[in-house]
Amino acid sequence: MKDYRHLDVWMKAHKVARAVYQASRGFPKDEIYGLTSQMRRAAISICANIAEGCGRKSDSELARFLQIARGSASELDYHLLLAHDLKFLSTPEYTELESNLREVQRMLTSLSQRVRHDVSRRKLPEDRVAAPAASA
């Protein structure tokens, strides 16, 4: 796979991670080891898993790491909702972060499906190897 820094999904996820850091700076200090840390960790995990998948040997491994990144995105989605419900994020901040995160989730799903499709297409010839003909 190409350098992760050139993937649109990584660039968008990196933008979300930076925005999460910026937004969480204003959270209460007693949340530094709680919600602040969890949100930041989930945001970083999205980018890190994309990068790690790109560094692996096979597209199958890349697809697996894209799914892990998708899980981290879902986790961050909940953290954003909770931060908004607790009034740590304003509605405009929440709406923008959530919208950008949804786009990352769609992009991850699309890329993962493409990679898995490519993997399955490459496996077809191997799977269709004819069994030896029975002796007459």
Per-block mean pLDDT, blocks of 10 residues, the chain (136 long) = 89 98 97 97 98 92 96 98 98 98 97 86 57 51
- 33 burial via Cβ count (<10 Å: 0-12, 13-18, 19+): exposed
Predicted local confidence at residue 133, as pLDDT: 53
54: which 2 tokens? 């790109």
Predicted local confidence at residue 123, as pLDDT: 65
Query: Residues for the chain: how many in total?
Result: 136
70: which 2 tokens? 């998708």
The predicted model scores a pTM of: 0.85
- CA–CA distance from 38 to each of 14, 75, 81, 83, 117 (Å)? 16, 9, 13, 11, 33
